[in-house]
Amino acid sequence: MAPRGEGVSRSEAQDPAPALVALGQSRMTPEERISALTEGLHTILEQAVESPSHWQVLLDASATLWRYSGGNVALLIMQMAQRGTEEPTLVAGYREWERHGRTVLKGEHALWVIAPRTARMQEFTLPDGTRQRIRVGEKLPRGAVDDGKKTVITGWRGQAVFDVSQTQGTPLLVPRDGTGPGVDASQLFGSLAEVAHRHGFEVHVDAAQYGLTSGYTDFAKHRVQVGAWLSTEERTAVLAHELGHVLLHGPDDDVGRLYGSSADHRGLAEVEAESVAYTVLRAHGIDRGPQSASYLAGWADAVIETERGVLADGTDRKLPASRVDIAKSVLGRVTAASKGILEVTHPPGFGGKVPAVEAGHLFVKPASYVGVGLPAASADGPTIAGPGI
């Protein structure tokens, strides 16, 4: 497990990104808006790779907004912090809020995220074996074999969304961090073991120990081992960490081979695995204390230096050009792996997105009401992905 760092509040860790401030100050063309969002994201990632406190802010927010990509989580929390408002918890577009009986308050300014532009394309194979695409409805070339239709990303755009705190209407019971009891660790351990099973791995609680580690992932035997001497909560934390390795550092993943198997980059694999564990546990209400990424910058430099050496040997592989490239890769991979786990373990809350079904039937505890005074007794979309994240 990664070492702990000193705690920090989100407001202390969020310095303004000038490009994002400009989003709310003037009318912008679509091209200017996507440029401002991209520039703002670059600034946030620069801060995160240099500062453990900024990295922890991103992980904390990812535990609440886990249905969003890492890049858009960063953009949302930065914009809310710049306005001096509370942290985002449930985010949707104007029309989506209307479908759930809520309207955006007069005078509220949109938050902006990066969303894909998509098009429906017809895929086909030419007689010479070349595979190509054209827009659906266009005529296929003579002799082409129809390979079916596919929706593809053709570019990126800024999408306006609003946090639940910017809306009014039908009361929503919105889960908040730090209220009520956390999940039972033994139940979460069972859910995490199910995630491992779905990926073809068996989980064993064993008294044997590999070196000084409390857990170990054996890709050859498809086995995850967790120390039998640990408490239930510690076992759960170790299993969450090892699942980070299972999802990110397998022999069939190019980046996983780079980060997980090379002695030069092993520390970056540990940053990723521990960040996954931190995010998953926090989403379930288990606070493991401050998360440290103090060596993220150092490992990023090690990756760049080693890969430049590979490039000098004539390899054509695309290499990371900067610390920000590494931070973008790590954040994107961590949030994607965390989402894959949380979709199976079902933490409380909505993961930052309004449910597709009637919201009133999905309320859960712990929570607090938005838009209503005293609460009565409660009963228990596609991911937005930014460029390269």
pLDDT for the residue numbered 282 = 92
Distance (Å, whole) CA 328 – CA 305: 18
Which positions ≥6 away from 282 have C-beta within 8 Å? 59, 60, 63, 177, 288
Distance (Å, whole) CA 375 – CA 373: 6
pLDDT for the residue numbered 173 = 67
pLDDT for the residue numbered 238 = 94
Which one-letter DSSP state was computed for residue 121? E
pLDDT for the residue numbered 368 = 36
pLDDT for the residue numbered 304 = 75
On whether the CB atoms of residues 249 and 334 are closer than 8 A, the answer is: no
pLDDT for the residue numbered 302 = 74
- Which two three-digit tokens encode residue 16? 């303004």
Per-residue pLDDT of 278-310, as tens digits, reads: 999 999 988 877 665 555 777 777 777 776 665
Dmax (CA) for the chain in angstroms is 70
On whether the CB atoms of residues 181 and 201 are closer than 8 A, the answer is: no
User: Which residues of the chain are modeled with pLDDT < 50?
Assistant: 1-8, 11-13, 178-180, 357-389
